[in-house]
Every structure is written in structure tokens, then in C-alpha cells.
Structure 1
Amino acid sequence: MGVWESILGKDGRRFVKRKDSDAGEHGRALEELRSSMYSDFHTSEGAKRQQQRLCGPFVAMTFNFIVAVGIIMANKVVMGKVGFNFPVALSLIHYVTSWFLMAIFKALSLLPAAPPSKATPFSSLFVLGVVMALATGLANVSLQHNSVGFYQMAKIAVTPTIVLAEFMLFSKKVSLQKVITLGIVSVGVAVATVTDLEFNFFGACVALAWIVPSAVNKILWSNMQQTGNWTALALMWKTSPITIFFFMVLMPLLDPPGVLSFGWNWNNVAAIIISALFGFLLQWSGALALGATSATSHVVLGQFKTCVIMLGGYIFFKSDPGMVSLFGAVVALCGMSFYTYLNLRDSKESSAGAIKQLLPKQNSFSLKPKTIIDEEDNTDAINPV
């Protein structure tokens, strides 16, 4: 060490110490960055904060809207051109594909961490997996056995069911303005889409049985993400095995026979796989939208999609649904716009209320330094009573 000191001299030793100090600061910064990244990816709290930061309500609902339009096209190819008329089996393939993709994410340490098992009882996850299977399977069977008009009427009935169920389960109240607005939206969608109400007895029973699981499914997805540290992918990973099991139970009961004898050639399999990939994106985007907004907003988004597709077909592809249907779609869109405005107003009011609650605490902290400064500047000042 004495040789090095004689070679480097005083300035050299100071330079080495400065470099060591810089290296220590860089090391601490890298350690803090690594710790932050680990918290974001490997803890449920950090993963939820990351999801909220990257995927707000607008991004989530836009993502869900785009994917929903894509899966409509993909499923039309699968059930129309390919002729794969096994709706429950197709849903089973979708969820198996989703589970396989999430297994790959988990193997690559890309799957967000889930909260501790004691934070959420298994019964809640089990119920969510069951109602998810029932909602998806019964919706496909209802669409297969009912006319489009009756299916749309059943979808409209989901909105008041969600409002009633949230009031009964969580004592969540909806303002009169929102109730009236949702009523206008439902009437507009009914006028726009309900062209016929032909149905058979079995299809009507399936449609009525689908309404409650569909509403409960959306409520649970939204509530578990907003009240707990669940992210969309983590909740999908936990509930998908339960949903897959119940799809396997429902498939022989609700699907027509012959799925094994279907023509499984490369073209048909490729179309089904593309539909399954869209199914994963739809499930993920729907979970993100439910976590970022609410169950009612997600239903309104689905009705918005229906009206936009109808108006887009009329404007760009010269389709003619009729003036009555077009008027209903415009009324529904106006109601949806006002409903969005009410949500934004309530969100601003809640944020303002939270800020007001924090202001007294901030003032109490700011008064003490000011008093100290005044005493230092003028020690003869008399404190006010």
C-alpha cells in the first residue's frame, strides 16, 4: 500500500476515493432499482400498482373493445366457415389456451404475484371459477338456441341485475341520475338490436339461467381486484383450472355430440387456435376493464360495442338496419356518453374529498416550521393567543 501511495500521491489517493464513492453511489442506485423492479413484479401490492399505473380505465376499456371486435370476426370464421358448432368445447379450448400461456409466463417469471392464500379464501376463488364457466357456457348455448333479438334482451337484463346484486351484496347504491341514464341506454339498445323475439322453451330457460351468473361474474371480478391486491393475470391464473374443470362437466350436457369426429385438419386447427388467442386477450382485457372501472361500466361498454358496430356497418358498409334501429343506437350512445360524464364527475368529487381530508394534516405539519422561523427572526414577538 505504501508503494501505491508513493506512486499516486495525494491527488491520486483523492481521485481513487472519489471513484470508490461514485461506485458506491451507483451500486446503491442499482440496488434500489433492482428492489423496485422486484417489488413491481414479485409482490402482489407492487404488481397491482404497476397495473393501475399502466392500464387506467380508458386504456383498459379501449383494449377490451378492440379485442371484442376481433374475437367476433374470429368466432364467425370458426363457427361459420370452419363449422365448429360446439360452443362449450370452443370455450374450453379458449381457457386451456389461456392457462397454457399463463403457465409459460409463470415459468419465465413474468406472471404477477398473487396475494397470500390467507388473504382470499379458496371458496371465493372457487365461486368465481364456477360462475365464470356458467356465464360463458350458458351465453354460448343461449346464442345458439335463441334468436339474436332474444339474446340481446337477455343481455340488457344483466344491467339491472348487477345494480340489484351490488346493492344486496355490498350495499352499493346508484344515484337516481345514473338509474335514469342506464334505463335510457337499455331502451336505446333494445330499440336498436331487438328485431325479433323468436325463441324456444329450452333456449329461453338457458337465457334466463345465464343472467344471474353473468352479473355475479362481473361483480366478483371487479370487487376482488378493487378491494384486494389481485391483478387480472394473477386472478385468471388462480381461477382458470376451476373454470376448465366445470367446462369439461358442462360440455357433454350442453354441446351436441360429435366433437371428437370433427375434421381436425391443419386449416381448421389454425382457425380455432387464432380464436383461442383472441379468447385469452378478451378474458385478460375484460378483467383489466372490470378492475379499472366497475361491473356496470363493463356492461355499458358491451352495449356501446354493439351500437358502434351497427352504426359503423351503416356508415362504412352501406348496411341498412332501419331508421328505428339507427335511432335507438343514437339514443343509446347519448345515454352512454352522459353515464360516462356522471362517472367522471363522481370520480373528481371523490378525489377532491380525499384531498380535503389530507389538507388539515398538511397544514399541521407546515405550521411548526413557520413558527420556528418566526422565533428565529424576531425573538421578541408575542405568540398570539
Structure 2
Amino acid sequence: MGLLESILGKDGRRLMKRKDSDAGQQGRALEELRGTLYSDIHTSEGAKRQQQKLCGPFVALTFNFIVAVGIIMANKVVMGKVGFNFPIALSLIHYVTSWLLMAIFKALSLLPASPPSKSTPFSSLFVLGAVMAMATGLANVSLQHNSVGFYQMAKIAVTPTIVLAEFMILSKRVTLQKVITLTIVSIGVAVATVTDLQFNFFGACVALAWIVPSAINKILWSNLQQTGNWTALALMWKTSPITIFFFVVLMPLLDPPGVLSFNWTWNNASTIIISALFGFLLQWSGALALGATSAISHVVLGQFKTCVIMLGGYVFFNSDPGMVSLSGAVVALCGMSFYTFLNLQGSKESSAVTKPLLSKQNSIAAKPKTIIEEDEMEKMDSV
């Protein structure tokens, strides 16, 4: 080696060292690639980055919208044609199916990693699982005992409840423009859907009891994903057993008797399982939408689905809800469009503020590295 170095001289030795350095850099690049792939699958930070990269607000909301329309049709078949009129038991079947699917994902190492247990108190997960059961179960019972108009009226009340709860718990403020826009949306949805207010005392109590758990449920799902390294699937995996437990408690209290004597034929069971698969997709897509946007945006999306289904029935299936209802749906959709515009404008302004700060931090962080690299090159040349 000494003879070869004496023949090549100083320039040759420098060239060999640069080649060795290039080979070392390639090896480090491969190691970094392996580490990145491992991080994207087996760490909560990497899994959250992948979720944010692959599932932005538009994708998440569109996914949730499509699945919601599908589960409405599936549940109509289950409740109507099959005759399975046990809303809590149906929700229990949905969540048990979701938990089994996620258990399969975990066995195949496909389930995203959860953050360390010390980062999120168990009390937060317990409350989330409990309010999820209360919100889902009470919503189904309310729809069973009340008219669609009264159910929609209770649903509209979730929006101001979320605004008030976020202000009291998280100190979040909503601009005056958004308050006016949300008011217009709520009035439009009320005019479009509240055609009758038929209810009984029990149904009214259930509807009123559903409003607060529904608002808290959306706020917690959104806050835990946006402030911690939780992905939608990881959070579903942790909270599903708690939700299932509360469904078991609620089922004998709120469901009518007779679920065990139901005619469990192959056709009926397969229809309920299909509905349960849609239920898993709905829970997942809803969690993704809450993680990518906010609790209020998710409520507005639900009202958007109601108006689109009504207008779609009028355009494609010759249904006639009346000009007053159609006008309310159009007003609501216009309000939702303006609310979306305000959100996009706010996100652009926040990104415009954060980009100069990030570029300044990157330039400061990159400067010492450049000096170190130049010092290393000078050492190599002096050898």
C-alpha cells in the first residue's frame, strides 16, 4: 500500500480517500433509508408523519363522505329488510368487528405503533372510549325514538356545543366570520331537514343527552391526534376495548329485548357483517378526518352529507322535499363553501408565517455543519 501511495502521489492519495468517503456516504445513506422505513412503520412519530403525508384534509373528508353514504345504505338494509332493530347491539357488532380487524393488523405488524403510555394518561383514553360509546349508542337510540326532523335539530346543536367546549377546555377562539358562517349553515340545515318535530319524552331526553358526548368525542379525537403522535388506527386500537365494554353495559338498558332470539340465518348474518365492515371504515375515516381537520369541520361535513343526499334524491330519484327544504339545502351548501374558504385562507396565512421561521432555523442549523465539512476536507488535503 505504501508503494502504491508513493507512485500515485498526493493527488492519488486524495482521490482514493474521496472514493472511500463516497462509499461511506452511500453506506450511511442506505442505513438512513433502512432507519426511515423502520421509523415509518414501527414508531409513533413515523406513523403519524406517514398518515399526514398520505391522508390530508381533502382525502380524509372525501373518504369519510363516501363511507358515510355507504353505511347509510347498509344500515337501511339491516334495519329495514333484515329487521335487526337493536341499535346498541348493532354498534357493538361494529366495534367488535373493528377490534378483530385491528388485531389481525397487529399480528401482521401492520398496525401503526402507539406513543409511549406516559405521553397520554390512561384517563384520557378511558374518557374517549366512554364518550364514543355514549355518542354512538345515544345517536342510534335517538334516531329510533324520534323523527328525522327532531334528530337533525339535536344534531345542529352539536356545533355551538363544540365551539363553547373548545373555548372552555382548550381556550380556542372562533373568528366572527366563522361564527356568522356556521350560523348560516345551521339555519340552512334546519330549514332543509326539520320538516317535522315528532318525539316522545324518552326520545327527547336521549337526544339532549347525546349532544354533549358527541361534541366531547369529536374534540378529544381531534385534539389527541393533533397534539400527540397518535394515528387514527393506533387510537382506535387503544380505545375500542373500552367502547365495547360500555356498549355491553348500555345494551340491556337501551335496546329492546329479543336480540338473542333474532333469526340468525346466513343471509341475515352476512348482511350485518357487511354493515360492520362499513362501520370499521366509517370509524377509521372519521378519525382520519378529525385528525386532519377539526371537530367543527367534521360536524360541517356531516351536515354537508345530509344536504347532498337530499339534493341527490331530488335530482336523480325524483324525490320532492319541497322548495323550502331545497332552498335551505342550497343556503347551507353556500355557507359550507364559504366556511371551507375561510379555513383554507387561515391555513395559507399560518403557513406563510411559519415558512420564514423554518427557513431561518434551517439556515442556522446548516451553517455549523458546512464549517465542519470544510475543516474535514482541509484535514484530508493536508495528509
Q: TM-score, normalised by structure 1?
A: 0.88
Residue matched to 1:253: 253
Residue matched to 1:11: none
Matched residues in 2 for 1:364 and 1:22: separation? 26
* Matched residue type, 1:251: M
Residue matched to 1:65: 65
1:301 is the counterpart of 2:332: no
Residue matched to 2:121: 121
Q: Secondary structure at the match of 2:31?
A: helix
* Matched residue type, 2:48: K
Give a deviation string over 1:22-70, Cα, whole Å, max 9, x none: 9977765543322111100100000000000000000000000000000
Matched residues in 1 for 2:64 and 2:264: separation? 30
Matched residues in 1 for 2:103 and 2:362: separation? 46
Residue matched to 1:226: 226
Q: Secondary structure at the match of 2:115?
A: coil
Residue matched to 1:271: 271
1:312 is the counterpart of 2:309: no
Aligned residues: 352
Residue matched to 1:329: 329
Residues 368 and 121 (structure 1 numbering): CA distance in 2 closer, same or farther, change over 3 Å?
closer
* Matched residue type, 1:180: I
Residue matched to 1:16: none
How far did residue 355 of structure 1 move? 2.0
Q: Secondary structure at the match of 1:179?
A: helix
Q: Secondary structure at the match of 1:118?
A: helix
Matched residues in 2 for 1:328 and 1:348: separation? 30
Residue matched to 1:90: 90
Give a deviation string over 1:253-277, Cα, whole Å, max 9, x none: 0000000000000000000000000
Residue matched to 1:6: none
- For structure 2, the residue ranges without an aligned partner over 5 or more in a row are 1-18, 370-383
Residue matched to 1:12: none
Superposition pairs of residues 1-385 of structure 1, within 5 angstroms: 28-358=28-358, 360-361=360-361
Q: Give the RMSD, CA atoms, in angstroms.
A: 2.2
Q: Secondary structure at the match of 2:119?
A: coil
Matched residues in 2 for 1:365 and 1:130: separation? 45
Matched residues in 2 for 1:241 and 1:74: separation? 24
Matched residues in 2 for 1:54 and 1:82: separation? 38
* Matched residue type, 1:207: A
* Matched residue type, 1:303: Q
Give a deviation string over 1:149-192, Cα, whole Å, max 9, x none: 00000000000000000000010000000000000000000000
Matched residues in 2 for 1:360 and 1:27: separation? 30
Residues 106 and 361 (structure 1 numbering): CA distance in 2 closer, same or farther, change over 3 Å?
closer
Matched residues in 1 for 2:50 and 2:100: separation? 23
Give a deviation string over 1:83-127, Cα, whole Å, max 9, x none: 000000000000000000000000000000000000000000000
* Matched residue type, 1:88: I
Give a deviation string over 1:124-158, Cα, whole Å, max 9, x none: 00000000000000000000000000000000000
Matched residues in 1 for 2:61 and 2:337: separation? 14
Residues 20 and 174 (structure 1 numbering): CA distance in 2 closer, same or farther, change over 3 Å?
closer
Residues 306 and 353 (structure 1 numbering): CA distance in 2 closer, same or farther, change over 3 Å?
same
Give a deviation string over 1:333-354, Cα, whole Å, max 9, x none: 0000000000000000111111
Identical residues among aligned pairs (%)? 85
* Matched residue type, 1:255: D
Moved over 6 A (4+): 19-26, 362-369
Give a deviation string over 1:266-319, Cα, whole Å, max 9, x none: 000000000000000000000000000000000000000000011011111111
* Matched residue type, 1:184: I
Residue matched to 2:378: none
Matched residues in 2 for 1:368 and 1:342: separation? 41
Q: Secondary structure at the match of 1:206?
A: helix
